Chains A and B, each alone.
Chain A
Amino acid sequence: MTYKSQETKTGIPALHIHSLSTIFDGQTVLDRVSFSVAKGECLTVVGPSGAGKSILLKSLNRLIEPSEGKIELFGTNITRIDPIDLRRRVCLVGQVPVLFDGTVGENLAYPFSFKRNQNLERPDFPTTLDSVGLSQSLLERDASKLSVGEQQRVAIARALCLSPEILLLDEPTAPLDHDSAEVVEETIMHLNCDMELTIVMVTHDTDQASRLGDETLRIVDGRVDGDME
């Protein structure tokens, strides 16, 4: 079953997933999943634990190779895109914020230490921090000394430094308390609504999915369950 959300003016969705299946050790973890994400849309993906949500997300930037099916990024099959370039264009931020030893500034500069990113233009770090609601005074702070909520926003800011076309978020508020989760939610809303960044976000919180998502995809036992809301 294919669900179509709003598309771009050219009619090509930012992401088009067609009949995606993934099998691990003989067990089907994703079963013919199909959907589209329009440019500038925030799609939330919900479902119980072990439903295959995170695997779906990792399939979108080829951290996991699907067994069957096709994923298109603005009309191009992602298998035809160099995986390193793809991961820069479709950037994933994990559930637990992973920051490396050093300051916040060094963490923001971290992606540019990789060979393939060395020729990319570095954004203005204070502006990037501002876009996730963090003060530039944090640039010199030891990243390990930040709260988990701040770390999560630094992790998002670090992904934004690569100017991704699509941001993938895997339960970004799961490890956070209520207040921190609210701030991260506001950040996501700002990135989507004000900066028009296309976002695909996995969450187990259906209320959060409704608040943030233009549309919500429900996955149960590796399958799309019901219609898109």
Chain B
Amino acid sequence: MIGVTYDPVDGLIKLGLAATLLITVITITYIKRLRLSRSIAIAAARGFLQLMAVALVITAVFQSESLLLVVLILSLMLIIAAHTSAKRAERIPGPFAVTLPAIAIGASSALISMVITGVLPPTPEFLIAFGGLTIGGSMVICSLALNRLAGAISSNRDRIETSLCLGASSEEALEPYTRLSVAASLIPSIDTVRTLGIIIIPGTMTGMIIGGTDPLWAAEYQLIRYFMLIAAGIITSILATHLAEKHLLTDCTPAGSGEVMM
């Protein structure tokens, strides 16, 4: 509960009890020879260590109340998100140069606008929580958009070449596919918002309710979070596909660089 000091012993006991559920599942997978027990155990251990480390760092940042530390943490999150998304978009040449600016501009514009308008207070708690959620959401949308774009270009190569042969610029030749990729990347987020509260009570709201917050207030922040995610996602997706098309196809590449298209 909010305002209650964390008791590490009590916390570890509760975690241990929750882990018995996991141990039961691991045992079942071992008996059934599903060959999942090792990966579940490693994933759980990794998750435990990562979350505990993050919790300790965030506690330290909250206590210091340093905005510089907040910016550093958000920057680190951003670099990891861009790197993760770039790994998913390997079919695009130089993917990190696409994902980093796309996620950075998308996520930061949503976060900064919320702070400037006073929707979110400029405190480390809010900046890290909402910044992290927005960066994470933008990362997923960026990966979806780039994957979809690379696939569409691959399977519509003849059409794109035909358009180029008929006088289209690279942007014009790719426009139908970038448009579809942007739309496709946002479908999961839009569907999530559409079914908010009906199918699941989303994470932010659940967390705040468990923490003792008024459910209406929790719902308000959940909505702010999703509005930020969609805004950041649209900007990220548009930027990512726009930057990617420059990497995938140019009106004219320098001599010796081989084929114009992937």
Task: Say whether chain B's binding surface is mostly helix, strand, loop, or mixed.
Answer: loop
Report whether A114 and B252 are in contact in the complex, using a CB–CB cutoff of 8 Å: no
Are the CB atoms of B166 and A158 closer together than 8 Å? Answer: yes
| A92 to B165 Cα, complex, angstroms | 6
Q: How far is the CA of A65 from the CA of B158 in the complex (A)?
A: 18
Q: Does A65 contact B254, Cβ atoms closer than 8 Å? A: yes
Structural contact, A162 and B252, CB atoms closer than 8 A: no
Which one, A65, A79, A114, A155, contacts B167 given CB within 8 A? A114
Q: Does A105 count as interface, using CB distance less than 8 angstroms? A: no
A91 within 8 Å of B (CB atoms)? yes
| Cβ A65 vs Cβ B260 within 8 A | yes
Q: Which of B240-262 contact A (CB under 8 A)?
A: 251-261
A183 proximal to B (CB < 8 A): no
Assess whether A64 is in contact with B166, with CB atoms less than 8 Å apart.
no
Do residues A98 and B252 form an inter-chain contact, with CB atoms below 8 A? no
| B169 lies within 8 A of A114 (CB) | yes
B212–chain A nearest beta-carbon distance, Å: 57
B161 within 8 A of A: yes
Chain A residues near B167 (CB, 8 Å)?
A: 84, 87-88, 111, 114, 116-117, 162
Within the complex, the shortest CB–CB distance from A221 to chain B, in Å, comes to 18
Which residues of chain A are within 8 angstroms of B252 by Cβ–Cβ distance?
62, 65, 83
Number of B residues near A (Cβ < 8 Å) is 23
- Are A61 and B169 also in contact (CB < 8 A) when A24-B258, A67-B256, A79-B255 are? no
CB distance from A46 to the nearest CB of B (A): 22
Chain A, interface size category, equals 20 to 34
Interface 0/1 of B176-219, CB less than 8 Å to A? 00000000000000000000000000000000000000000000
* Nearest chain A residue, comparing its CB with the CB of B260: A63
Expressed in whole angstroms, the Cα–Cα distance for A111 and B258 within the complex equals: 26
Complex contacts, A22 vs chain B, CB 8 Å: 258
Note all chain B residues with C-beta closer than 8 A to A158.
166
Q: Are B257 and A87 in contact (CB-based, < 8 A)?
A: no
The CA-CA distance from A67 to B256 in the complex, in Å, is 4
B50 contacts A by Cβ under 8 Å: no
Whether a CB of chain A sits under 8 angstroms from the CB of B164 is yes
Q: Bound complex: CA of A66 vs CA of B166, how far in Å?
A: 21
A94 on the interface (CB 8 Å rule)?
yes
Residue of B nearest to A79 (CB): B255
The interface residues of chain A lying within 8 Å CB-to-CB of B168 are 84, 114
Complex: chain B residue closest to A66, CB-CB: B255
**Could you say which of A66, A79, A100, A159 contacts B165, with CB atoms under 8 Å apart?**
A159
Known interface pairs A67-B258, A114-B172; A94-B166 also in contact (CB < 8 Å)? no
How long is the Cα–Cα vector from A158 to B165 in the complex, in angstroms? 11
B254 partner residues in chain A, CB cutoff 8 A = 65
A63 to B262, CA, bound (A): 12
Using known A-B contacts A62-B252, A65-B253, A98-B159, determine if residue A91 contacts B166 with beta carbons closer than 8 Å. yes
Contact between chains at A84 and B258 (CB < 8 Å): no
Q: Are A64 and B258 in contact (CB under 8 A)?
A: yes
B165-A91 in contact (CB<8A): yes
Asked if A189 is at the interface of the complex by the 8 Å CB criterion, the answer is no
Tell me which residues from 156 to 174 in chain A have a Cβ below 8 Å from any Cβ of chain B.
158-159, 162
Say yes or no for A195: interface residue by CB 8 A criterion.
Answer: no
Q: Does B123 contact A (CB under 8 A)?
A: no
A24, A68, A94, A162: the one within 8 Å of B162 (CB): A94
Q: Which residues of B contact A100 (CB under 8 A)?
A: 159
- In A53-112, the 8 Å CB interface with B consists of 61-68, 79, 82-84, 87-88, 91-94, 96, 98, 100, 110-111
B-contact 0/1 string along A111-142, CB 8 Å cutoff: 10011110000000000000000000000000
Q: Which residue of the partner chain A has the closest CB to B158?
A: A98
Contact B255–A24 (Cβ < 8 Å): no
B37 to chain A, nearest CB (A): 42
The answer, yes or no, to whether A23 is at the interface (CB within 8 Å) is yes
Asked whether B169 lies within 8 Å of A84 as measured between CB atoms, the reply is yes
Question: Within residues 14 to 65 of chain A, which ones have a CB less than 8 A from any CB in chain B?
Answer: 22-24, 61-65
Output the nearest chain A residue to B259 by Cβ-Cβ distance: A64
Q: Is the CB of B255 within 8 A of A111?
A: no
Contacts of A63 in B (CB 8 A): 161, 164-165, 259-261
Q: Which residues of A does B touch, CB under 8 Å?
A: 22-24, 61-68, 79, 82-84, 87-88, 91-94, 96, 98, 100, 110-111, 114-117, 155, 158-159, 162
